[in-house]
Structure 1
Amino acid sequence: MPRFAAWSAERARAIIDDYRDTSGALLPALHALLVEFGHIAPEAIPLLAEALTLSRADVQGVITFYHDFRTTPPGRHLVKLCRAEACQSMGSASLEDHARHHLAIGWGETTEDGEFTLEPVFCLGNCALSPAVMVDGELYGRVSPERFDAILASAGQSTAAPEQTP
């Protein structure tokens, strides 16, 4: 399960400084901040802009352009569902619907209890075993709604479906 450091401007400056003299430093610096903190805190934008001599708008534009960058902390468990064509052809749309309904969140959102963040991915490289899901960096293939529930349950939380009234 991913564990991230609490936001620290001092630590963020040190990370950014590691990339200051690198050509095209913004993307590697953003990825390094994401690895360290789990998200790009809004406070990082002026630090990046100043250190890399960019405008804040340029930094914000890159963050919002790439779906890999999130600006809020993720849940304790990061759930990525493959949305590539191979997975779609093998039924990932019904798995996506199940996941969003079951967790009661949309793409890029975190459950109220902070357990799960649901993110789309556009290829997990597991086409032969579609549909694919990655939870906390572990890849699963041939995931049905029932298997999805079991995977999340093993990640630390029961995902029993809410009771339906007839």
Structure 2
Amino acid sequence: MNMRMSAGGLTERSLEIIRELKDLEGPMLPILHAIQDEFGHVPEEVKPLIASELNLSRAEVHGVVTFYHDFRAAPAGRHVLKLCRAEACQAMGSDQLGDRARQFLGIDFHQTTLDGAVTLEPVFCLGLCACAPAAMLDGEVYGRVDEHCLSDIVAEARR
């Protein structure tokens, strides 16, 4: 997103996206994904627009945004590191891996490093259960991630 986009430009573009997708069956998730793709997050001021256009309450829209971990309230860093937190990965050490990632990066889940390089996000299944624990950096998945592999992934993201 152009960080200089005016509030009016944000509203205008959001309404274009919403109106383009609102006739889909179950339009809220596609609208939210499109908004996040456009702006890097789901801006708070867009939620009432979605609610109005879909004839829903703002609470319903907010509930969906906060329920799904894929939606962000603020723009992500230049790189997004996702660590699987599902049961298979937990059984193979993902909790310890998460602790190391937070230590390496100096942030917690749902936060971005001060230099804006990396956002750390939990996910609940990357579909690599047989290769647990799993991670994803900018859409590229990694299986059987150990501390050494994690440090390489983090170093790559920090470059």
TM-score by length of 2: 0.88
Which of residues 145, 148, 154 is equivalent to 2:147? 145
For 2:33, the equivalent position in structure 1 comes to 31
For 2:47, the equivalent position in structure 1 comes to 45
Paired letter, 1:48: I
2:118–2:158 Cα contact (<8 Å) kept: no
2:42–2:73 Cα contact (<8 Å) kept: yes
Q: Which runs of 5+ in 2 are unaligned?
A: none
Number of aligned residue pairs: give it: 154
Say if 1:101 and 1:147 are closer, same or farther in 2 by CA, change over 3 A. Answer: same
TM-score by length of 1: 0.85
More helix by share: 2
2:95 equivalent to 1:93: yes
Q: Which runs of 5+ in 1 are unaligned?
A: 158-166
Offset at residue 124 of structure 1 (A): 0.7
For 1:130, the equivalent position in structure 2 comes to 132
CA RMSD of aligned residues (A): 1.6
1:126–1:141 Cα contact (<8 Å) kept: yes
Percent identity between matched residues is 55
For 1:160, the equivalent position in structure 2 comes to none
**3-state SS of the aligned residue for 2:127?**
coil
1:62-91 deviations in Å (ceiling 9; x for gaps): 211222211111111011001111111111
Say if 1:125 and 1:5 are closer, same or farther in 2 by CA, change over 3 A. Answer: farther
